[in-house]
Amino acid sequence: MNSHNNIKRRKSRQIKVGNVLIGGDSPISVQSMTNTLTTDIQGTLKQIKELEDSGADLVRVSVPDRESAIAFAKIKKSTSLSLIADIHFDHMMAIEAIKGKADCIRINPGNIGKEEKIKEVVSMAKDNGVPIRIGVNAGSLERKLQIKYGEPNADALVESALNHINILKQLNFEDFKLSMKASDVFLTIESYKKISTLIDQPLHLGITEAGGFRSGTVKSSIGIGSLLLDGIGDTIRISLASDPVDEIKVGWDILRSLKIRSRGINFIACPSCSRMNFDVIGTMNQLESRLEDVIEDLDVAVIGCYVNGPGESKHTQIGVTGGSPKNLIYIDGKPDHKVESSELAEHLEGLIRKKIKEIKLEEDNLIVKN
């Protein structure tokens, strides 16, 4: 889906993380993080593949020790997906990750010790064309800032970010992106808004430690969605206490709802009520399960009655309006035929897959003509 919104995006410089462009006018990327032990190479690769299949543009992998650094290098050789090495404190792990072909390293320059160590990491990153992500977190602010401000606030997060940024800029390193995460939605929004006017590097959005699947999705949607509506943000991660695949799905749902990017089917479905003529909830559960593999952009309306059904179905490629004794199917916005409720989920799946084939064929023919 091309953008059909009126969002004026903040202008940021562009960096490259592996084969993914971030910032500038490049698409807003969706990422997650593995929760396997990095030393479990096969388990980590399996999860990376699951994330890639779900639509991840980037995946972050922890590199806490030398054994993990060795494993990271082997993992990187076995996937084409862009990988970010997550580093804390130990500058040697950053160096080892860059040697292991990391596409980006997540590290806070101010937390890795002496100036010589920082210079060594930055020099290594420069020589290998590896960008850095600075990750400021309200839960791990520097002690001097905790004392100065008393509690995490936007000014404290901004000051922390600028301290790290200045270290890189003094070393003439501009190839970085920044995240400023908090578990509080208002604090996160305020912090990103403040920093967005002070630097031109890409911003990575997230509500950190957002919670479980439901509560975390709500908090992330409000926080990240608000910033995206203001044109702020170049890449996003939904931090959920859930399967990392859920993070990717929710990320895509946020982008799709704002008409920024789309992947897979956009279902317009009613919440169901006493007017429905078929089991809307059961049908939707079946369709979402059956069509998880679909990545093509398609609008599908599943409406249980004639009150809103015709209006919604007229603006989709495939639609169904509940009726008695049969339900009316719409194709490309026009009434086409009727189907029994007992056959509905399977019938809609077949129509959707047929429509996808037609779209692909049209695209292939267009490419040949051009």
Parse the chain into domains and list their residue ranges: 15-257, 265-369
When the candidates are 3.40.1380.20, 3.20.20.20, 3.40.50.2300, 2.60.40.1220, the CATH number that belongs to 15-257 is 3.20.20.20
In which band, very low, low, confident or very high, does the pLDDT at 164 lie, cut at 50, 70 and 90? Answer: very high
Cβ atoms of 329 and 339 within 8 Å: the answer is yes
pLDDT at position 1 over 50:
no
Cα–Cα dist 95/112, whole Å? 12
Helix (H, G, I), strand (E, B) or coil at 57: coil
| Positions of E strands within the chain | 15-17, 20-22, 29-33, 58-62, 82-86, 104-106, 132-137, 176-181, 203-205, 235-237, 265-269, 298-303, 318-321, 327-331, 334-339
Give per-residue pLDDT as tens, 128-141: 999 999 999 998 88
- The first and second tokens of residue 247, run together, are 């993070």
In this prediction, residue 2 carries a pLDDT of 43
Cβ-based neighbours of 47, under 8 Å, separated by 6 or more: 34, 35, 36, 244
Q: Would you call 40 exposed, middle or buried from its count of C-beta atoms within 10 A (0-12, 13-18, 19+)?
A: middle
In this prediction, residue 272 carries a pLDDT of 84
For the segment 338-346, the average pLDDT, to the nearest whole number, is 96
Q: Answer with the residue of higher pLDDT: 5 or 172.
A: 172
Q: Would you call 289 exposed, middle or buried from its count of C-beta atoms within 10 A (0-12, 13-18, 19+)?
A: exposed
Helix (H, G, I), strand (E, B) or coil at 198: coil
Q: Answer with the residue of higher pLDDT: 93 or 292.
A: 93
- The first and second tokens of residue 111, run together, are 């937390």
pLDDT at position 195 over 50:
yes
Whole-prediction pTM value? 0.90
Please give the mean pLDDT across all residues of the chain: 94
In this prediction, residue 241 carries a pLDDT of 94
Give per-residue pLDDT as tens, 242-271: 999 999 999 999 999 999 998 889 999 999
Cβ atoms of 85 and 63 within 8 Å: the answer is yes
pLDDT at position 118 over 60:
yes
For the segment 65-85, the average pLDDT, to the nearest whole number, is 98
**DSSP state at residue 87:** -
For residue 30, the cross-strand partners are 236
For the segment 189-214, the average pLDDT, to the nearest whole number, is 96
Backbone angles phi, psi at 213, to 5 degrees: -55, -50
Cα–Cα dist 218/204, whole Å? 19
In this prediction, residue 12 carries a pLDDT of 97
In this prediction, residue 181 carries a pLDDT of 92
Cα–Cα dist 215/336, whole Å? 40
Cα–Cα dist 131/15, whole Å? 7
Cα–Cα dist 98/124, whole Å? 7
CATH of domain 265-369: 3.30.413.10
Cα–Cα dist 219/213, whole Å? 10
In this prediction, residue 370 carries a pLDDT of 62
| Cis peptide upstream of residue 202 (ω within 30 degrees of 0) | no
CA separation, residue 291 to residues 50, 82, 298, 347 (Å): 16, 26, 11, 13
